Amino acid sequence: MRPAAGAPPPIGIFDSGVGGLTVLRALVEALPAEDFVYLGDTARLPYGTKSASTVRRYAVNAARHLVGREISLLVVACNTASSYALEAVREACPVPVVGVVEPGVRAVLATGARRVGVIGTEGTIRSEAYQRELERRNGGLGVRAAACPLFVPLAEEGWGDHPVTDTVAAHYLGPLLEWGVEAIVLGCTHYPLLVPSLERVVGPGVRLVDSASAVAAAVQADHGALLTGRGCGQVVVELTDGSEHFRNVARAILGRDPEHLELVDVNHG
Q: Return the active site residues.
A: 78, 188
* Among residues 39, 45, 185, 250, the one that binds ligand DGL under rule CB under 6 A: 45
> Which of residues 21 and 176 has its CB atom nearest to ligand DGL in the complex?
21
240 near ligand DGL, rule: CB under 6 A: no
Q: Binding segment for ligand DGL among 39-47, 159-167, 225-233, 239-247 (CB under 6 A)?
A: 39-47
Among 8, 9, 11, 16, binds ligand DGL (CB under 6 A): 16
Scanning residues 66 to 95, which ones bind ligand DGL (CB under 6 A)? 78-80
With 0-12 CB in 10 A as exposed, 13-18 as middle and 19+ as buried, what is 215? buried
- Please state whether beta strands 235-239 and 36-40 pair in parallel, antiparallel, or not at all (unpaired): parallel
Element (H, E) at 5: none
- The answer to whether 46 contacts ligand DGL (rule: CB under 6 A) is yes
For residue 237, which phi and psi values (nearest 5 degrees)?
A: -110, 130
192 near ligand DGL (CB under 6 A): no
**Is position 189 an interface residue for ligand DGL (rule: CB under 6 A)?**
yes
Taking CB under 6 A as the criterion, the residue among 14, 36, 38, 47 binding ligand DGL is 47
Pairs from 125-134 (Cβ < 8 Å, separation ≥ 24): 125/187, 127/52, 127/80, 127/83, 127/84, 129/79, 129/82, 129/83, 129/84, 129/101, 130/83, 130/101, 130/104, 130/105, 130/185, 130/187, 133/101, 133/102, 133/105, 134/105, 134/108, 134/109
Minimal distance in Å, beta carbon 42 to ligand DGL?
A: 9
Binding site residues, ligand DGL, CB under 6 A: 15-17, 19, 45-48, 78-80, 121, 124, 152, 188-190
